[in-house]
Amino acid sequence: MSSVHDSVVEVFVARFGLDPETVVADANFDDLGLDSLSQIELATALKKRLGIVITDEELSEISVVGDIVALVEQKGAAVR
Amino acid sequence: MTAVLTGLGGFLPPRAVTNDGLSRTLDTSDEWIRTRTGIRERRMVSDGLSTGSLAVEAGARAMRSAGVSGVDAVVVATTSPERLCPAVAPEVASRLGLGTVAAFDLTSACSGFLYGLATAAGLIDSGTADTVLFIGSEAFTTLVNQEDRATAPIFGDGAGAVVLRRGEPDEPGALGPFDLGSDGALADLLAIPAGGSRQRSADAGLGHGTVPAADWYLRMEGRPLYTQAVERMTQSALTVLKRADWPVADVDWFAGHQANLRIVRAVAEELELPEERVAVNIDRVGNTLAASVPLLLNDYAARGALRPGQRVLLSAFGAGLSWGSTVLVWPDIQAEPVN
């Protein structure tokens, strides 16, 4: 797993109090017991903790944890 | 001249409905509601109690708290009016034995308490009144579709009231600067479509039977509202803090509108206010719209958590969209526990 994956998992765990074992690449928000507001809460947490800004449009296309990791990798690369 | 808080009261209807109670008739559960909203139970009107009767009880308590038997004006903020016409405030004034004083209603949904405080303070500032009884009263569960699992668990009924008097800007209880705002372009995010002139005009001659049942109840788009609520309340709070020249670190209590625990916490997080300074009672009362902030203040004041001299930040956001904030140093007033 990439270090970006680990960072994203850490944000999930810190923000929602989840078991890190459950935050796997193909888990969706429902699987994790999260709802549509959780997506916005996650975006806020990613901005605060990783400095990554995810737009509402991008959020609406996210379905699984792996999508978020890919987006963060892409944005992290762009920042560098 | 400044308006000063001198009395506080609250009243809740006796019928308590727990999440388990709701899940008997609705496809939901205690866990589902608690994790998404922070609400455990709410009070709901029954047996003929409604906005007016709740307002009378809360108003009487606020006047008792202030030690007054009369006021110059009564203002009621409500989005669950007794009837489309007339306003309920004159009736409330009459039932409180206040005679023929100035009385009117004001509608600004969940920001109603902040808009109402500013309006009541304006009556005092302008010299129109020396004392004002201002009540936020809601029987809003009657306007929520109890078969809609997205909205039914959120709302509760109740009333909170304050008495304001003319005073000096530097005394405890003086209402600080206000920030008020609105965005009507987003009015449809939270609305009850039927019952008003728009629907009646469109349906002219067709009769009320043609209106879909759901149109008589609240419609809510939760996700965009969450984003707006957090952004607007945060900005509004920062605006009044700046106008009052209070650093965020000086705020002893953030008494924000109890819309959803996640919104209250997100705003506090944006403001960098620690959790122990964030007042919360949504778990017991749900979202009571214009009654929310005064019921919260009453709860904290009655059990001595909110003490004289503490600096309090008030902020609310709701349908309209509309929002508002103000600050005050808590005065030495007595508040009875709500029933």
Instruction: Identify the CATH number of the domain in which residue A14 sits.
Output: 1.10.1200.10
Structure tokens at A8: 């994203």
DSSP class of residue B278?
B
Q: Is the link from the previous residue into A37 a cis peptide, with omega within 30 of 0? A: no
To the nearest whole angstrom, how far is the Cα of A37 from the nearest Cα of chain B? 6
Number of domains forming the structure of chain A: 1
Closest Cβ–Cβ partner in A33, A36, A44 for B223 = A36
Amino acid B233: pLDDT: 98
Q: Cβ of A33 under 8 Å from any chain B Cβ?
A: yes
Mutation target to probe the B interface, by most B beta carbons within 10 A, among A40, A47, A49 is A40
Give the helix, strand, coil percentages of chain B, each rounded to 5: 40, 25, 40
Q: Do A41 and B223 touch (CB under 8 A)?
A: no
Question: Distance (Å, rounded) from C-alpha B71 to C-alpha B163?
Answer: 8
Minimal-distance CA residue of chain B relative to A16:
B35
The answer on pLDDT for A80 being more than 60 is no
Question: Which of A45-49, A74-78, B78-82, B122-126 shows the lowest mean pLDDT across its residues?
Answer: A74-78
Q: Is the link from the previous residue into B308 a cis peptide, with omega within 30 of 0? A: no
Minimal-distance CA residue of chain A relative to B265:
A41
Amino acid B212: pLDDT: 82
Q: Could you give the 3-state DSSP secondary structure of residue B329? A: strand
Label residues B3-30 b or e (16+ Cβ within 10 Å = b): bbbbbbbbbbbeeebebeebbeebebeb
Amino acid B106: pLDDT: 98
Q: Give A41's contacts in chain B (Cβ within 8 Å).
A: 262, 266
Q: Cβ of B227 under 8 Å from any chain A Cβ?
A: yes
Q: Determine how many CB atoms are found less than 10 A away from the CB of residue B83.
A: 11
Length of chain A: 80
Q: Do A40 and B227 touch (CB under 8 A)?
A: yes
What integer is the mean pLDDT of A14-43?
88
Q: Do B266 and A41 touch (CB under 8 A)?
A: yes
Amino acid B82: pLDDT: 94
Which residue, B276, B280, B254, B250, is CA-closest to B267?
Answer: B254
In which element (H, E) is residue B324 found?
A: strand B322-329
Structural domains in chain B, sorted by start = 2-167 (3.40.47.10), 178-185+218-329 (3.40.47.10)
| Domain with A18 in it | 3-79
* Average confidence (pLDDT) per 10 residues, chain B, 339 residues: 95 97 92 92 96 98 98 98 96 98 98 98 97 98 94 97 97 97 97 89 65 89 93 98 97 97 95 96 97 98 97 98 98 93
B261-290 residues touching A, CB cutoff 8 A? 262, 266, 269
DSSP string, A7-53: HHHHHHHHHH---GGG--TT-BTTTTT--HHHHHHHHHHHHHHH---
Q: Determine how many CB atoms are found less than 10 A away from the CB of residue B202.
A: 12
Contact between B163 and B1 under an 8 Å Cβ cutoff? The reply is no
Amino acid B204: pLDDT: 62
To the nearest whole angstrom, how far is the Cα of B52 from the nearest Cα of chain A? 35
Q: Could you give the 3-state DSSP secondary structure of residue B8? A: strand
Q: Do B226 and A37 touch (CB under 8 A)?
A: yes
Amino acid B207: pLDDT: 56
Q: Cβ of A37 under 8 Å from any chain B Cβ?
A: yes
Amino acid A77: pLDDT: 56
Contact between B160 and B294 under an 8 Å Cβ cutoff? The reply is yes
Structure tokens at B267: 């705003």
Q: Determine how many CB atoms are found less than 10 A away from the CB of residue B35.
A: 16
In which element (H, E) is residue B209 found?
A: none
